Amino acid sequence: MARRELTRLTGSFNGPNCDDDDCPNVYRTASGSIVVQGNLSNAFHAPEGEALVEIPEAVLREAVRALGW
């Protein structure tokens, strides 16, 4: 899936060293699922085929507002 196929729900978070698409973000796919972009986390070992990412709370709140939840 290409990034251009996703709907970006966030983008106003101005974290350190943020440039257009290299900051934590939340996206929605055409099928309605959510894709999260963030820093890799080592909180625990995720099952094969999965990954853990960390995103600031403000980014998640912005995504929830964008979705109207």
Predicted pLDDT of residue 15: 64
The predicted structure's pLDDT at residue 1: 81
What average pLDDT is seen over the chain? 88
Give CA–CA dist 60/39, Å, rounded: 14
Structure tokens at 15: 């974290």
Which residue has 């929830």 as its token pair? 64
CA angle 51, 52, 58 (to 5 degrees): 135
- Domain count across the chain: 1
pLDDT digits (tens, 9 = 90+) for 20-49: 667 889 999 999 999 999 999 999 999 999
23, burial (CB in 10 Å: exposed 0-12, middle 13-18, buried 19+): buried
List 56's β-bridge partners, or say none. Answer: none
**For residue 18, what are the domain limits?**
3-67
| 13 — pLDDT class (breaks 50, 70, 90) | low
Region 12-21 average pLDDT: 65
